[in-house]
Amino acid sequence: MKNLLPGLPLIESPLYPMMKAEMGLTPEEMRIADDLYERGYAVFDFPDRDVEARIDRVKANLAPRYGVDFDSPEGTKNAGERRIQDAWKFDEDVRSFAANQAVLDLLSKLYGRRAFPFQTLNFPVGTEQAAHSDSVHFSSLPERFMCGVWLAMEDIGPNSGPLFYLPGSHRWPIMTNSLIGRRGYGGSLASAQDPYGPAWDALCTAFGVQPEHLIARKGQALIWCANLLHGGSRQNDPKLTRWSQVTHYYFEDCIYYTPAFSDETVGRLQMRELVSIEDGRARPNTFMGELVERSGSKYSFHHSLYERVRRAIRVKVA
Ligand SMILES: O=C(O)CCC(=O)C(=O)O
Ligand SMILES: [Fe+2]
Protein backbone atom coordinates (compact mmCIF):
# COMPACT_ATOMS: atom_id res chain seq x y z
CA MET A 1 0.00 0.00 0.00
CA LYS A 2 1.41 3.37 -1.00
CA ASN A 3 1.77 5.85 1.86
CA LEU A 4 -0.36 8.77 0.71
CA LEU A 5 0.85 11.01 3.57
CA PRO A 6 4.66 10.64 3.66
CA GLY A 7 4.90 14.08 5.25
CA LEU A 8 3.74 12.57 8.55
CA PRO A 9 5.53 9.94 10.64
CA LEU A 10 3.80 6.57 10.07
CA ILE A 11 2.85 6.27 13.75
CA GLU A 12 1.38 9.79 13.78
CA SER A 13 -0.55 9.46 10.54
CA PRO A 14 -4.34 9.17 10.55
CA LEU A 15 -3.69 6.41 7.99
CA TYR A 16 -1.60 4.38 10.47
CA PRO A 17 -4.44 1.92 11.27
CA MET A 18 -4.74 1.16 7.54
CA MET A 19 -0.99 0.87 6.98
CA LYS A 20 0.24 -0.90 10.09
CA ALA A 21 -0.24 -4.45 8.82
CA GLU A 22 2.24 -3.71 6.03
CA MET A 23 4.92 -2.08 8.17
CA GLY A 24 6.68 -5.39 8.86
CA LEU A 25 6.35 -5.05 12.63
CA THR A 26 6.87 -7.84 15.17
CA PRO A 27 4.10 -8.15 17.81
CA GLU A 28 6.22 -6.17 20.31
CA GLU A 29 6.95 -3.48 17.71
CA MET A 30 3.24 -3.33 16.91
CA ARG A 31 2.45 -2.75 20.59
CA ILE A 32 4.98 0.09 20.69
CA ALA A 33 3.60 1.56 17.44
CA ASP A 34 0.00 1.36 18.71
CA ASP A 35 0.96 3.07 21.98
CA LEU A 36 2.73 5.88 20.13
CA TYR A 37 -0.20 6.35 17.79
CA GLU A 38 -2.84 6.35 20.51
CA ARG A 39 -1.04 7.75 23.56
CA GLY A 40 2.04 9.54 22.17
CA TYR A 41 4.49 7.47 24.22
CA ALA A 42 5.60 3.84 24.55
CA VAL A 43 7.56 2.03 27.26
CA PHE A 44 9.95 -0.78 26.33
CA ASP A 45 13.00 -2.64 27.62
CA PHE A 46 16.13 -1.00 26.27
CA PRO A 47 17.52 -3.47 23.71
CA ASP A 48 21.11 -3.84 24.92
CA ARG A 49 22.43 -6.97 26.65
CA ASP A 50 25.03 -4.83 28.45
CA VAL A 51 22.58 -2.16 29.59
CA GLU A 52 23.21 -2.66 33.34
CA ALA A 53 27.01 -2.61 33.07
CA ARG A 54 26.92 0.40 30.74
CA ILE A 55 24.64 2.31 33.10
CA ASP A 56 27.00 1.64 36.01
CA ARG A 57 29.98 2.85 33.98
CA VAL A 58 28.16 6.02 32.88
CA LYS A 59 27.21 6.84 36.45
CA ALA A 60 30.78 6.26 37.68
CA ASN A 61 32.19 8.45 34.90
CA LEU A 62 29.69 11.31 35.18
CA ALA A 63 29.06 11.46 38.95
CA PRO A 64 32.18 13.53 39.80
CA ARG A 65 31.18 16.15 37.22
CA TYR A 66 27.95 17.31 38.90
CA GLY A 67 29.60 18.64 42.08
CA VAL A 68 27.26 16.63 44.32
CA ASP A 69 28.26 13.99 46.86
CA PHE A 70 26.15 11.06 45.66
CA ASP A 71 27.71 8.75 48.26
CA SER A 72 26.30 10.68 51.23
CA PRO A 73 22.95 9.04 52.13
CA GLU A 74 21.70 12.18 53.94
CA GLY A 75 23.03 14.71 51.44
CA THR A 76 20.79 16.73 49.11
CA LYS A 77 21.17 15.52 45.53
CA ASN A 78 19.11 18.09 43.66
CA ALA A 79 20.72 21.45 44.42
CA GLY A 80 20.40 23.52 41.23
CA GLU A 81 20.00 22.27 37.70
CA ARG A 82 22.02 19.15 37.19
CA ARG A 83 22.51 17.93 33.72
CA ILE A 84 25.28 17.22 31.25
CA GLN A 85 24.51 17.87 27.62
CA ASP A 86 26.22 15.82 24.92
CA ALA A 87 28.27 13.56 27.18
CA TRP A 88 28.33 11.23 24.15
CA LYS A 89 31.33 13.28 22.97
CA PHE A 90 33.52 11.87 25.74
CA ASP A 91 31.63 8.85 27.12
CA GLU A 92 31.46 5.81 24.87
CA ASP A 93 28.57 4.23 26.80
CA VAL A 94 26.42 7.37 26.54
CA ARG A 95 27.20 7.34 22.82
CA SER A 96 26.33 3.67 22.59
CA PHE A 97 22.90 4.23 24.20
CA ALA A 98 22.21 7.10 21.81
CA ALA A 99 23.32 5.22 18.71
CA ASN A 100 21.90 1.79 19.67
CA GLN A 101 21.24 0.06 16.35
CA ALA A 102 18.07 -1.71 17.47
CA VAL A 103 16.58 1.61 18.66
CA LEU A 104 17.59 3.36 15.42
CA ASP A 105 16.06 0.56 13.34
CA LEU A 106 12.88 0.58 15.42
CA LEU A 107 12.43 4.36 15.20
CA SER A 108 13.14 4.31 11.46
CA LYS A 109 10.48 1.64 10.97
CA LEU A 110 7.95 3.52 13.11
CA TYR A 111 8.50 6.89 11.45
CA GLY A 112 9.13 5.85 7.84
CA ARG A 113 12.39 7.84 7.59
CA ARG A 114 15.87 7.00 8.86
CA ALA A 115 16.36 8.14 12.48
CA PHE A 116 19.53 9.78 13.75
CA PRO A 117 20.46 10.83 17.29
CA PHE A 118 21.64 14.43 17.65
CA GLN A 119 21.70 15.28 21.37
CA THR A 120 22.12 13.54 24.72
CA LEU A 121 21.23 14.79 28.21
CA ASN A 122 22.33 12.97 31.35
CA PHE A 123 20.54 13.73 34.60
CA PRO A 124 21.48 12.41 38.06
CA VAL A 125 18.24 13.78 39.59
CA GLY A 126 14.74 14.64 38.38
CA THR A 127 14.44 17.76 36.25
CA GLU A 128 11.25 19.08 37.94
CA GLN A 129 10.59 20.63 34.54
CA ALA A 130 7.07 21.93 33.90
CA ALA A 131 4.94 20.21 31.26
CA HIS A 132 6.25 21.02 27.78
CA SER A 133 6.62 19.47 24.38
CA ASP A 134 10.11 19.19 22.93
CA SER A 135 8.80 20.48 19.63
CA VAL A 136 9.26 24.12 20.78
CA HIS A 137 12.98 23.39 21.12
CA PHE A 138 13.43 21.02 18.20
CA SER A 139 11.07 20.72 15.32
CA SER A 140 11.21 19.65 11.72
CA LEU A 141 9.62 20.48 8.41
CA PRO A 142 7.64 18.44 7.73
CA GLU A 143 6.46 18.47 11.34
CA ARG A 144 6.73 15.73 13.96
CA PHE A 145 9.89 14.00 12.69
CA MET A 146 11.51 14.24 16.13
CA CYS A 147 11.27 12.13 19.25
CA GLY A 148 12.93 11.58 22.61
CA VAL A 149 14.06 8.31 24.14
CA TRP A 150 14.29 8.44 27.92
CA LEU A 151 16.27 5.68 29.68
CA ALA A 152 15.91 4.87 33.39
CA MET A 153 19.41 4.42 34.80
CA GLU A 154 18.15 3.15 38.15
CA ASP A 155 14.83 2.01 39.63
CA ILE A 156 12.73 5.15 39.94
CA GLY A 157 9.98 5.47 42.55
CA PRO A 158 7.34 8.13 43.20
CA ASN A 159 9.51 10.24 45.56
CA SER A 160 12.44 10.86 43.23
CA GLY A 161 10.57 13.15 40.81
CA PRO A 162 9.59 10.64 38.13
CA LEU A 163 8.99 11.57 34.52
CA PHE A 164 5.37 12.49 33.81
CA TYR A 165 3.42 12.92 30.57
CA LEU A 166 -0.09 13.69 29.36
CA PRO A 167 -1.38 10.76 27.32
CA GLY A 168 -2.86 11.79 24.00
CA SER A 169 -1.47 15.35 24.13
CA HIS A 170 0.60 14.61 21.00
CA ARG A 171 -2.63 15.17 19.06
CA TRP A 172 -3.25 18.64 20.48
CA PRO A 173 -2.29 21.68 18.37
CA ILE A 174 1.47 21.92 17.92
CA MET A 175 2.73 24.79 20.02
CA THR A 176 4.25 27.61 17.95
CA ASN A 177 4.75 31.34 18.31
CA SER A 178 1.96 32.09 15.87
CA LEU A 179 -0.41 29.87 17.87
CA ILE A 180 0.09 31.99 20.99
CA GLY A 181 0.35 35.28 19.11
CA ARG A 182 3.99 36.23 19.53
CA ARG A 183 6.97 36.77 17.30
CA GLY A 184 9.96 34.59 18.04
CA TYR A 185 12.55 35.20 15.38
CA GLY A 186 15.59 37.17 16.54
CA GLY A 187 14.43 37.20 20.17
CA SER A 188 16.02 35.73 23.26
CA LEU A 189 14.54 33.85 26.19
CA ALA A 190 15.87 32.66 29.56
CA SER A 191 14.09 29.38 28.87
CA ALA A 192 12.80 28.56 25.41
CA GLN A 193 9.60 27.10 26.82
CA ASP A 194 8.61 30.04 29.06
CA PRO A 195 6.16 31.79 26.68
CA TYR A 196 4.06 28.65 26.16
CA GLY A 197 3.43 27.55 29.76
CA PRO A 198 0.05 29.29 30.23
CA ALA A 199 -1.24 27.98 26.88
CA TRP A 200 -0.14 24.42 27.71
CA ASP A 201 -1.81 24.67 31.13
CA ALA A 202 -5.02 25.90 29.49
CA LEU A 203 -4.96 23.01 26.99
CA CYS A 204 -4.55 20.53 29.87
CA THR A 205 -7.60 22.06 31.57
CA ALA A 206 -9.60 22.13 28.33
CA PHE A 207 -8.86 18.48 27.52
CA GLY A 208 -9.18 17.42 31.17
CA VAL A 209 -6.21 15.07 30.93
CA GLN A 210 -4.34 14.10 34.09
CA PRO A 211 -0.58 13.41 34.04
CA GLU A 212 0.72 9.85 34.31
CA HIS A 213 4.01 9.08 36.05
CA LEU A 214 6.65 6.60 34.96
CA ILE A 215 7.62 4.39 37.86
CA ALA A 216 10.49 2.78 36.03
CA ARG A 217 12.84 -0.13 36.41
CA LYS A 218 16.54 0.32 35.64
CA GLY A 219 16.97 -0.39 31.93
CA GLN A 220 13.42 0.52 30.93
CA ALA A 221 12.98 3.22 28.31
CA LEU A 222 10.23 5.44 26.98
CA ILE A 223 9.80 7.02 23.55
CA TRP A 224 7.88 10.28 23.44
CA CYS A 225 6.45 11.86 20.32
CA ALA A 226 7.53 15.38 19.35
CA ASN A 227 4.32 17.04 20.56
CA LEU A 228 3.69 14.95 23.70
CA LEU A 229 3.51 17.10 26.83
CA HIS A 230 5.91 15.79 29.46
CA GLY A 231 8.07 16.97 32.34
CA GLY A 232 9.69 16.02 35.62
CA SER A 233 7.47 15.84 38.71
CA ARG A 234 8.45 17.32 42.07
CA GLN A 235 11.19 15.48 43.86
CA ASN A 236 9.60 14.77 47.23
CA ASP A 237 12.79 13.39 48.74
CA PRO A 238 15.88 15.51 47.98
CA LYS A 239 18.16 12.73 49.23
CA LEU A 240 17.22 10.54 46.28
CA THR A 241 18.82 10.42 42.85
CA ARG A 242 16.99 9.83 39.57
CA TRP A 243 19.62 8.86 37.04
CA SER A 244 18.40 8.99 33.47
CA GLN A 245 19.57 9.66 29.95
CA VAL A 246 17.52 11.39 27.28
CA THR A 247 18.52 11.10 23.64
CA HIS A 248 16.80 13.30 21.10
CA TYR A 249 16.36 11.99 17.56
CA TYR A 250 15.53 13.57 14.25
CA PHE A 251 14.80 11.82 10.96
CA GLU A 252 16.52 12.24 7.63
CA ASP A 253 15.41 14.50 4.80
CA CYS A 254 13.84 17.27 6.85
CA ILE A 255 14.56 20.85 7.81
CA TYR A 256 15.63 21.03 11.46
CA TYR A 257 14.96 24.22 13.40
CA THR A 258 14.09 25.83 16.74
CA PRO A 259 10.44 26.98 16.75
CA ALA A 260 10.81 29.13 19.89
CA PHE A 261 13.03 31.49 17.82
CA SER A 262 11.25 31.12 14.50
CA ASP A 263 8.20 32.52 12.72
CA GLU A 264 7.27 29.73 10.33
CA THR A 265 4.44 31.69 8.74
CA VAL A 266 6.87 34.15 7.14
CA GLY A 267 9.66 31.63 6.61
CA ARG A 268 11.97 32.97 9.31
CA LEU A 269 13.52 29.86 10.74
CA GLN A 270 16.32 29.46 13.23
CA MET A 271 17.74 26.42 11.52
CA ARG A 272 20.03 23.89 13.16
CA GLU A 273 23.28 22.52 11.79
CA LEU A 274 23.30 18.97 13.01
CA VAL A 275 25.74 16.14 13.37
CA SER A 276 24.54 12.59 13.88
CA ILE A 277 25.87 10.92 17.01
CA GLU A 278 25.82 7.66 15.06
CA ASP A 279 28.65 8.50 12.65
CA GLY A 280 29.75 12.02 13.64
CA ARG A 281 28.77 13.29 10.19
CA ALA A 282 26.61 16.27 9.27
CA ARG A 283 22.93 15.82 8.49
CA PRO A 284 22.18 18.83 6.31
CA ASN A 285 18.75 20.40 6.13
CA THR A 286 16.98 19.03 3.08
CA PHE A 287 13.55 19.14 1.50
CA MET A 288 12.78 16.07 -0.65
CA GLY A 289 16.48 15.49 -1.12
CA GLU A 290 17.26 19.09 -2.03
CA LEU A 291 19.74 20.97 0.14
CA VAL A 292 18.18 23.93 1.97
CA GLU A 293 20.48 26.83 2.79
CA ARG A 294 20.56 27.92 6.37
CA SER A 295 18.40 31.00 6.81
CA GLY A 296 17.21 33.07 9.69
CA SER A 297 20.45 33.13 11.64
CA LYS A 298 22.83 35.99 12.28
CA TYR A 299 25.37 34.13 10.21
CA SER A 300 23.12 33.84 7.21
CA PHE A 301 21.97 37.43 7.57
CA HIS A 302 25.58 38.59 7.36
CA HIS A 303 26.16 36.05 4.66
CA SER A 304 23.22 37.25 2.59
CA LEU A 305 24.21 40.89 3.12
CA TYR A 306 27.69 39.99 1.93
CA GLU A 307 26.18 38.12 -1.02
CA ARG A 308 24.06 41.12 -1.94
CA VAL A 309 27.04 43.50 -1.77
CA ARG A 310 29.16 41.07 -3.78
CA ARG A 311 26.47 40.79 -6.44
CA ALA A 312 25.99 44.57 -6.58
CA ILE A 313 29.72 45.07 -7.10
CA ARG A 314 29.84 42.37 -9.76
CA VAL A 315 26.92 43.97 -11.60
CA LYS A 316 28.66 47.36 -11.53
CA VAL A 317 31.93 45.94 -12.83
CA ALA A 318 30.24 44.00 -15.62
O1 LIG B 1 13.65 13.77 32.51
C2 LIG B 1 12.80 14.66 32.65
O3 LIG B 1 12.32 14.94 33.76
C4 LIG B 1 12.35 15.44 31.43
C5 LIG B 1 13.46 15.64 30.46
C6 LIG B 1 12.99 16.34 29.23
O7 LIG B 1 11.94 16.88 29.17
C8 LIG B 1 13.82 16.34 28.01
O9 LIG B 1 15.00 16.00 28.07
O10 LIG B 1 13.29 16.68 26.93
FE1 LIG C 1 11.45 17.53 27.17
**Domains in the chain, CATH or no CATH each:** 10-317 (2.60.120.620)
Calculate the alpha carbon distances from 231 to 18, 145, 170, 228, 306 in Å.
Answer: 32, 20, 14, 10, 43
Residue nearest to atom 9 of ligand 1 (CA): 246
- How many degrees, rounded to 5, is the angle at CA 195 between CA 198 and CA 193? 100
By most ligand atoms within 8 Å of CB, the mutation choice from 84, 128, 163 for ligand 1 is 163
Residue nearest to atom 10 of ligand 1 (CA): 134
Q: Which atom of ligand 1 is nearest to the CA of 150?
A: 1
Between CA 137 and CA 122 the distance in angstroms is: 17
In 224-244, which positions are buried (b, 16+ CB within 10 angstroms) versus exposed (e)?
bbbbbbbbbbebeeeebbbbb
- Output the pLDDT for position 294: 74
Between CA 73 and CA 67 the distance in angstroms is: 15
- Output the pLDDT for position 298: 44
Q: What pTM does this model have?
A: 0.92
Ligand nearest to the CA of 222: 1
Residue nearest to atom 7 of ligand 1 (CA): 231
By most ligand atoms within 8 Å of CB, the mutation choice from 119, 122, 150, 240 for ligand 1 is 150
- Output the pLDDT for position 315: 46
pLDDT, mean of each 10-residue run, the chain (318 residues): 95 98 97 98 98 98 91 84 92 98 98 98 95 96 98 98 98 97 94 94 97 98 98 96 98 98 96 97 96 63 49 48
- Output the pLDDT for position 297: 47
What DSSP string runs through 164-233? EE-TTGGGSPPP-HHHHT---TT---SSTTGGGHHHHHHHHHHHTPPPEE--B-TTEEEEEETT--EEE-
Q: Which atom of ligand 1 is nearest to the CA of 244?
A: 1
- Which stretch of DSSP H or E encloses residue 94? helix 92-98
- Output the pLDDT for position 308: 52
Q: Cβ(35)–Cβ(214) under 8 Å?
A: no
127 within ligand 1 shell (Cβ under 6 A): yes
219 within ligand 1 shell (Cβ under 6 A): no
